[in-house]
């Protein structure tokens, strides 16, 4: 499992607008890079599961919680 600094690098890479969070388009790009063959509906569902505070963005702590709980 990557350490938090490596996860942060990956998160920041996909945060293409550098706003500190991953939006739905950035999340779709991340899934594509991981080779996840998911429908648009599955991408939205996955996004909503990780976005635990429901603000329409995945912050790093949400990403970290999701990654470490898989």
- As a whole number of angstroms, the distance between CA 33 and CA 56 comes to 21
Phi, psi of 21 (to 5 degrees): -150, 160
| pLDDT per position as a tens digit, 8-52 | 998 999 999 999 999 999 999 988 888 888 999 999 999 999 999
User: How high is the pLDDT of residue 2?
Assistant: 59
Structure pTM? 0.85
Let me know: does 6 contact 63? Beta carbons within 8 Å.
no
Domains in the chain, CATH or no CATH each:
4-69 (1.10.238.10)
- As a whole number of angstroms, the distance between CA 3 and CA 61 comes to 14
């Amino acid at each position: 499992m990557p350490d938090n600094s490596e996860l942060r690098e990956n998160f920041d890479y996909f945060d293409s607008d550098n706003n500190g969070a991953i939006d739905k388009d950035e999340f779709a790009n991340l899934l594509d890079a991981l080779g996840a063959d998911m429908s648009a509906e599955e991408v939205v569902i996955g996004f909503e599961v990780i976005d635990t505070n429901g603000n329409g963005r995945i912050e790093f702590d949400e990403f970290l919680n999701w990654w470490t709980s898989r």
